[in-house]
Amino acid sequence: MANVPRRRARRLALVLAAWAACATPVRADASGRPAVDLIGTWHVLIHYTDDHSHDPSQQRWDDRVWVFESAGSRLRWIEYPIVVFEDKSGRFESRGRSGVGRVLHAWEPNGSQRAAIKAGLEVNPRGQKSKTLRQGGDGSWRSVGRSTAASASVITYVENWSIENASDRPVFRRQEVLGSGRTDDLEGFTEYATTEVSRAGDLLRGSFERDGSRHGTFRMQRSGPTSAVASKTASVGQRFYASYLAGLRAALAKREPLIERAAAARGDDGGEASRRLREQARAEVRAAIEESIREAKGDPAELRPEIDSLSRQIERRMVEDGRSPEDVVRMLQEGRINP
């Protein structure tokens, strides 16, 4: 009986989603084709074959959740590679001593799984990645790589994410580059090229290609908002938040004016004044974290590595992405910021 309220809530979410779909007019671009608004949550299902597998003709599947958020003038793209369905039918199978693996066919969601996608899926923050993209003069969105020049003794790794034709027929590309001064660069490349958009703009279909060896199709369907997996599998960041950071929102809010000054000065071409403000902003974030830990009767000295990591991440989210204290706390709760 404990699950009854949750089932009712999901049914209500589905009813509201259906009503919204009927009530919202269909948008179109100048050509009359359906326009795409990426902001929100999407379930991405991939069917493909692998030239390097023992059976290159065998159909395989993969899925993930993508979330697109506005971050001031930028676009935040978040990927969750581990998607959790309450109904696991048809997705995984036992492989004996090898454990559990994906079924070797083109899995399609059944009725209850389609309803779960519409209502919103659970995701595991493990393996989560995200990039902040800037819009160029041609309208495309591209991430800004932060790798430094490779030397003979240093190996660098960078991922470049981009979206072209974002409001028409989006093409999503991911490039991975690993290299050093002693070796040739190793590159990986993944492309999702949209060829079809539904009339309402909430379903995209197209071709999928990865590293020249995986070929197939993808279907990208608008989904309800995500939630974190059950607490027994909660991430380190979620447990850390629950134990120590309950008062973080208020502690950050007290220091927000100085952090906002650093955000306003970040276009100062990396000048000395801008650098000092960034350092002060990070110090203020660190002080807020330590304050909330002390309020929870903890000792910041015992959590120095976690505090160092969180200070860098939160300062970057607030200064570069314009996130509020409320946003930061929610991202900690969802496992999108981890120590």
Supply the DSSP string of 88-138, one letter for each residue: -TTTEEE-GGG-EEE-SS-----HHHHHHHHH--EEE-TT-EEEEEEE-TT
pLDDT tens-place string over residues 120-138:
999 987 788 899 999 999 9
Q: What is the pLDDT of residue 69?
A: 93
Residue-level pLDDT at 245:
73
**What total of structural domains would you count in the chain?**
2
For residue 110, give its domain range: 25-228
Q: Looking at residue 248, what is its pLDDT?
A: 86
Where the chain has pLDDT below 50, the residues are 1-4, 15-26, 148-150, 231-233
Q: Does a structural domain hold residue 76?
A: yes
Would the pTM count as exceeding 0.85?
no
Last residue in a domain, options 179, 202, 228 = 228
Please classify residue 320 by burial: count the beta carbons closer than 10 Å to its beta carbon, then call 0-12 exposed, 13-18 middle and 19+ buried. Answer: middle
Both 203 and 318 in one domain: the answer is: no
Do 323 and 255 lie in a common domain? yes
In a domain, 199, yes or no: yes
pLDDT in tens, 23-49: 444 455 555 667 899 999 999 999 999
Q: Are residues 167 and 303 in the same domain?
A: no
Of 308, 141, 148, 332, residue with least CA distance to 242: 332
